[in-house]
Structure 1
Amino acid sequence: MGGIRFPRPGSFLSRQRWSRLKLHDTFPPADTPDPILEAVKKGVAAGNVKQRPTQEIRKRARAVRDHARESDARAAAILELLGFVENYPNIEEFQKIVARLLWEVNDERALEAWLGVSLRFPKSMDAFQNFVQVAWRRKGPRAVSASLQARFPRMPKSLDQLLAYAEACDTAGEMTKRRAAFDQLSRMLAKRRESWLNASSWLEEEWGRYRTPGVILKRLAGGAGLRPQIVDNAEHLRTVIGEWEEGNSSTVTKDALASVRVLDVLFDRVLQARQSGISSASHRKTGSLVLLTGSLATGGAERQLVTTAVGLSKMSPQQRTLRDGVVLDPVKVIARSLYDRKDGQFFLTDLEGAGITVQSYRELPDFAGDLATSAVRPALRALGFLPWSTAEAVMKLTDHLRSISPEVVHIWQDGLVFAAGFAALLAGVPRIILSGRSTPPPDRRENYLVEYDIIYRSLLRAPGVKLTVNSRYAAARYAAWLDMAPERIAVVPNGVARLQSAGDPWSQSAFRIFSERVGPDVLTVGAVMRLDEVKRPLQWVDAAAAISSRIPKACFIIVGDGPFRKRMEKRAVALGIAERCLFVGRSACVGFWLSKMDALMLLSAHEGLPNALIEAQLAGVPVITSPAGGAPETLISDVTGIITSVQPTPSEIAEIVFRLSAEPRRLERMSVEAERWATAAFPVSRMLASTLQLYGEVGDSGLVREPS
């Protein structure tokens, strides 16, 4: 019964180096019981503890899970799978399947479920890592820190526990502990005569390459699944790399990362093969368009992808005909995953309602289930040198793209450009569009890997590949990073539709109650944003408090959700403005809430081309924004909105808002001009036309498939 014991005070389990009770007590009891625990208890009571499932039974449980995902019938599947848990209460796999499905359907019991699995199977670092991710999304980094301290009062010694510990430190923002974990890993590898080829390359010149210890540890954990070739000394490492460098006998030094050198040679070979596909023959007449995204969660880039996909799918075949005669049909969307984030399916109904097929490539089999015929075989030995997200995409996506043979693959956001760009090259996709939506990776060094330089530059060397961004600011930043002329980067501004101002019953009721509470207001300042660190939400609350001190009857409406929501609410209480703040949460009625605002305020540290600013102006709401990224390009300064200093203080913002409130006629003029400007500057029709023009231009390279 080792996997399902429940510790009691004074028992042997409670005297171990870490206490399950302490970990359990980091969260208050849930209002509803953990269904997995209930099934386990029933199984124990029925005497099923020693039962062991056959392989056939395990396959049956997985089939139930897979069918539930395909048919979107997870709720019924959870009930069926709990029967497997009851019959085999000591089997970790069944409990994890149920916990994952609970998380995928956004069931509030998912946190309690993952906590329970990690307690019943304390050696399962996979269960603990899933628990950490759910805890972070539901409770925030402080909860993860408390759980980390309870689970690992001391730094673990085994490799799998150290990797889980380091990732949890990274999630919780525990920088000192994260660095200590990396140092410990370095010492562990140094003591071994044999280490992974991946580890050898990843650990070279670590501190000078902008990679954080947490990122390295995550990549080591991911790379372990590839089971790369064992390397027992530096000479062997040099020999393996030399095979990729076609006889180059130079040694691996601190100034020449093995991963970069291997990738450079690998891309040279792939690009040579792609060049051989150039021909003067005519293109095929019809080919599909695939738009690739990380998820369908709430976000500006995701919204633009959906707007593009739906808009193009509604066009006639004649309208979707490129200038070289190729008709794009049908339009498809592939996401990395629809389940990794709580809101990962937010836009799914919009796409399905337009008749667009949506897939998740993480659900696809590696190498399409047949490594022998895979297009990845020529690059197989180099997978260990790719960032893990890229290696995963290559294994999952390359052969799938080759089988569906799209004419255009449009990849959205840098993270997926790195992950899927190489897969599209290997698959021989004729036209590949890379959409960098915000600022280049070096500007966001917490996620930056030095391999990204060679991946991006190599992709752009390929015929039939084009980079596009949505702001002039982003074009200039990418051009500086990639050492290329800004005019080589296509700028396609967002296309934004006017939102409906009607509200659902809940929104109308919430606003009525809020209005009754605050009474007649002088000015309503609002926000529509994801409540995460990039948006500087705590500074937003500080600014609201400063505004309230100047305009006591001002009130504030915050639309959106995220890990900082509870911290914002607590800050509002501490500053004495909670009664005048309405935290709406995630809403499908953004237009309704915009209609209740006199001004919208956005104080982001980083931005692309913020849809929220455009949507507000379309609704006749003047905007106040920091000059982050392309935000200034969304408005006419002092005409449709106001741009703050780079690091605006609460008093500066309060002064701006106070002056607006003192000049109601100016505010009215700004409202009229905002609507007029946004309507003319960001029409969806222009964005779609520019996108189709871009698809046609990239076809001028001459790379073709056989006509169909």
Structure 2
Amino acid sequence: MTSASPSQRPELAPLPLRGQRALVLVADPSLPLDLSEADEVLFVGARPRDCRGVVDAPVIAGRELLRLRGSQSARALRPTTVVVSSLARLGARSLAAALRYGAQRVLVVDVPGSYLELDPKPALALAGLIGSRRRIARLPGSRLLEGALGWRLAAEVPDLSETERAAEVVFRHAERARAAQKPGGPLRVVHYVGALSPGGAERQLSYLAASHQAAGHSVEVWAGGSLTGSAGHYIPALREAGVAVSRVERTRRGLLRAPWPSGSLPAEVEGALLTHATAPQLVPLTQRLLEHQPDVLHCWLDDNNVIGGLAGLAAGVGRIVLSTRNVSPLHFPRLMRPWLRATYRGLLESERVVMINNSLAGARDYAAWTGTELERWNVVHNGFDAAACPPLSEEARARGRAELGVAEGEFLVAGVFRLDVEKRPRDFVEVLARVAAEVPHLRAIHLGEGPLAAEVHALARERGLGERLRFLGRREDAWSLLGLADASLLTSLGEGLPNVALESQALEVPLVLTDAGGSVEAVDPERSALVAEVGDLAALSAHLVRLARDPAARRAMGRAGRAWVEERFALERMVERSAALY
């Protein structure tokens, strides 16, 4: 992998190591790392040539870990996380030796600026598989086999410089090539997304696809990832609307071959796509676009935007719409990819590419991050079908609250969000703990899942909320449960335009939420919601206490919230605004 010069250092976000002691296995010193959040660091093998946030951490030889007695330095560190840089060049034996010292978490870095988090056993299994393929690739005759099958047996580490070069090749090709012309009649529209999980972006996609299908267009949804279990949440609704749903199967990088028909793309473009870091998704998508030739390709969320944008330009799609749904990934280290900003900038040079964000705050943040004009970012607020989400009757509320074990007169707070870093679920628990000290009749429910579930559940028990706060997981009847609440609470770090804010207001449930991204654009402050700064636990708590003590104010805010949603966020407005961009 090419090492960047100081003036061309790749954009990195810190690895999520706050409060962690990191044992860093360096098999590729040219791979840059940002370890600034770690409490302590011990390098094994070498120090990365571009290492940010660490000045004088010690380095031990790899063989020291493999000794029968182990390493005194590693034992003294008592690591909580093992960082692997990079797994494609590291042996399973070294990883197993590192895990002897007690770490229960592995971060794998194979591309600058992004990482994969694994438990120890899956990490060891992956390291063993990659090592086996390396050994097979060294056997006599392996090159002949690769040539005959068009496969690469050995795992390859994506090269950032090759990824940037590949994007430039596609951009030059798009400038020269003639794109398909938009027809005068119904459109063939493809939506490309990672999965159809029960998230906000996926809901808007479902609304939009079903509406356009009903209007006479031919609409399909293609997913780049799994569609099983919760990842297929919206499949029934889409298929009921007549929208075809399918998966674009990714190709393992080590078994990658160029599947497109001979002559469909210039050889330079074919070769470039194969070298991009996202080639396992990018190549199959490009092939499928070449076969289907849709009039519009509408991509959702950053990774899919980059993959779909490049594939659409390569395949000659006439209109490519890229939907961003929050503030930029600069705020979310786990979502950052080092090629995102440069690729967005290149995509924005094409007149065939249209950018969308679902809030003005998000559009401004993306424009500032990419260094592009705000005018290139179209704001399309989320649409919401308020008629399908009516407030519960008094009888239904009483019956539902009784089923939850909520007594008459108790103050019920609901949280509906993913238990992940950007939602700040710890703040949700801490705020409830503060409110409980002043509101003895507090009860709370949470709807949703996420990687921080175990940690958040434990914090709730630690704060004495075990009997007051119930975690109900992912529920199909989320609206019915949210409608039982006296208030809803959203403590996010960043938001686009949160669907739960629209839902809560439609159900006449007043909100308390943070001024995060486009959150405030979704509410009518002081009339339908009470707003606090991100992390201001005192203000969030005070807002809930105020609502707990004033039932009349809750009812007034609830009525104002429903009127606000019906006026500002009609589903038809979102559909019409999106269609105008096609």
1:297 to 2:159 alignment: no
Which residue matches 1:684? 571
Which residue matches 1:423? 311
| 2:488–2:509 contact (8 Å) kept in structure 1 | yes
Which residue matches 1:350? 237
Moved more, 299-308 or 451-460: 451-460
Unaligned 5+ residue runs, structure 2?
1-77, 138-158
Q: Give the deviation of 1:538 after TM superposition.
A: 2.1
- 5 Å matches for 1:224-303? 258-259=161-162, 262-263=165-166, 265-274=168-177, 276-277=178-179, 283=183, 285-303=185-203
Query: Secondary structure of 2:221's match?
Result: strand
Query: Secondary structure of 1:411's match?
Result: strand
1:378 to 2:281 alignment: no
> Per-residue displacement from partner, 1:540-594 (whole Å, max 9, x unpaired)?
1111111111000011121122233333333222222221222222111122112
Q: Give the deviation of 1:173 after TM superposition.
A: 8.4
Query: Secondary structure of 2:476's match?
Result: coil
> Per-residue displacement from partner, 1:173-213 (whole Å, max 9, x unpaired)?
84xx75xx87xxxxxxxxxxxxxxxx9xx6xxx6xxx4569
- 5 Å matches for 1:114-125? none
Counting helix residues as a fraction of each chain, which structure ranks higher?
A: 1
Q: 1:588 to 1:420 in 2, by over 3 A?
A: same
Which residue matches 1:460? 348
Which residue matches 1:394? 282
Q: 1:400 to 1:653 in 2, by over 3 A?
A: same
**2 CA distance for matches of 1:602 and 1:573?**
20
- 5 Å matches for 1:180-579? 210=113, 258-259=161-162, 262-263=165-166, 265-274=168-177, 276-277=178-179, 283=183, 285-315=185-215, 317=216, 329-339=217-227, 342-362=229-249, 369-370=259-260, 372-375=262-265, 377-383=267-273, 385-388=275-278, 391-498=279-386, 499=389, 511-515=401-405, 518-579=406-467
| 2:92–2:128 contact (8 Å) kept in structure 1 | no
- 5 Å matches for 1:98-113? none
Query: Secondary structure of 1:410's match?
Result: strand
Q: What code does the residue aligned with 2:548 have?
A: S
Moved more, 553-562 or 674-683: 553-562
**2 CA distance for matches of 1:166 and 1:445?**
28
Q: 1:529 to 1:156 in 2, by over 3 A?
A: closer
Paired residues in the alignment total: 465
> Per-residue displacement from partner, 1:16-61 (whole Å, max 9, x unpaired)?
xxxxxxxxxxxxxxxxxxxxxxxxxxxxxxxxxxxxxxxxxxxxxx
**2 CA distance for matches of 1:655 and 1:385?**
54
Q: 1:345 to 1:656 in 2, by over 3 A?
A: same
Q: Give the deviation of 1:532 after TM superposition.
A: 1.9
Q: What code does the residue aligned with 1:652 have?
A: A
> Per-residue displacement from partner, 1:329-380 (whole Å, max 9, x unpaired)?
21110011234x7511111111111111001001689778455355374323
1:638 to 2:569 alignment: no
**2 CA distance for matches of 1:490 and 1:588?**
32
Query: Secondary structure of 2:312's match?
Result: helix
**2 CA distance for matches of 1:580 and 1:628?**
27
| 1:292–1:411 contact (8 Å) kept in structure 2 | yes
1:671 to 2:561 alignment: no
| 2:392–2:484 contact (8 Å) kept in structure 1 | no
Query: Secondary structure of 1:566's match?
Result: helix
Counting strand residues as a fraction of each chain, which structure ranks higher?
A: 2
Moved more, 462-471 or 528-537: 528-537
Q: What code does the residue aligned with 1:436 have?
A: T
> Per-residue displacement from partner, 1:497-521 (whole Å, max 9, x unpaired)?
2326679xxx999853432xx5333
Q: Give the deviation of 1:415 after TM superposition.
A: 1.3
Which residue matches 1:625? 513
> Per-residue displacement from partner, 1:616-652 (whole Å, max 9, x unpaired)?
0011111111111111111111111011122112x33
Which residue matches 1:31? none
| 1:497–1:615 contact (8 Å) kept in structure 2 | no
**1 CA distance for matches of 2:530 and 2:161?**
49
Which residue matches 1:594? 482
Q: 1:562 to 1:257 in 2, by over 3 A?
A: closer
Moved more, 477-486 or 408-417: 477-486
Which residue matches 1:189? none
Query: Secondary structure of 2:427's match?
Result: helix
**1 CA distance for matches of 2:117 and 2:182?**
49
**2 CA distance for matches of 1:645 and 1:223?**
46
**1 CA distance for matches of 2:175 and 2:230?**
41
Q: Give the deviation of 1:661 after TM superposition.
A: 2.3
Q: Give the deviation of 1:612 after TM superposition.
A: 0.3
| 1:607–1:630 contact (8 Å) kept in structure 2 | yes
**2 CA distance for matches of 1:386 and 1:443?**
24
**2 CA distance for matches of 1:282 and 1:442?**
35
**1 CA distance for matches of 2:160 and 2:288?**
31
Q: 1:502 to 1:565 in 2, by over 3 A?
A: farther
- Report runs of 4+ in structure 1 exceeding 4 Å deviation: 145-149, 155-158, 162-169, 210-215, 219-227, 363-371, 500-503, 507-511
Moved more, 285-294 or 374-383: 374-383
Which residue matches 1:134? none
| 1:598–1:621 contact (8 Å) kept in structure 2 | yes
> Per-residue displacement from partner, 1:430-471 (whole Å, max 9, x unpaired)?
010011111223232333233222211111112211101100
| 2:182–2:295 contact (8 Å) kept in structure 1 | no
| 1:514–1:582 contact (8 Å) kept in structure 2 | no
Unaligned 5+ residue runs, structure 1?
1-144, 183-198, 231-255, 318-328, 696-708
Q: What code does the residue aligned with 2:92 have?
A: Q
TM-score normalized by the length of structure 2: 0.71
**2 CA distance for matches of 1:292 and 1:211?**
22
| 2:171–2:313 contact (8 Å) kept in structure 1 | no
Query: Secondary structure of 1:592's match?
Result: helix
**2 CA distance for matches of 1:472 and 1:623?**
21
Q: Give the deviation of 1:287 after TM superposition.
A: 3.4
Q: What code does the residue aligned with 1:628 have?
A: A
| 2:258–2:274 contact (8 Å) kept in structure 1 | no
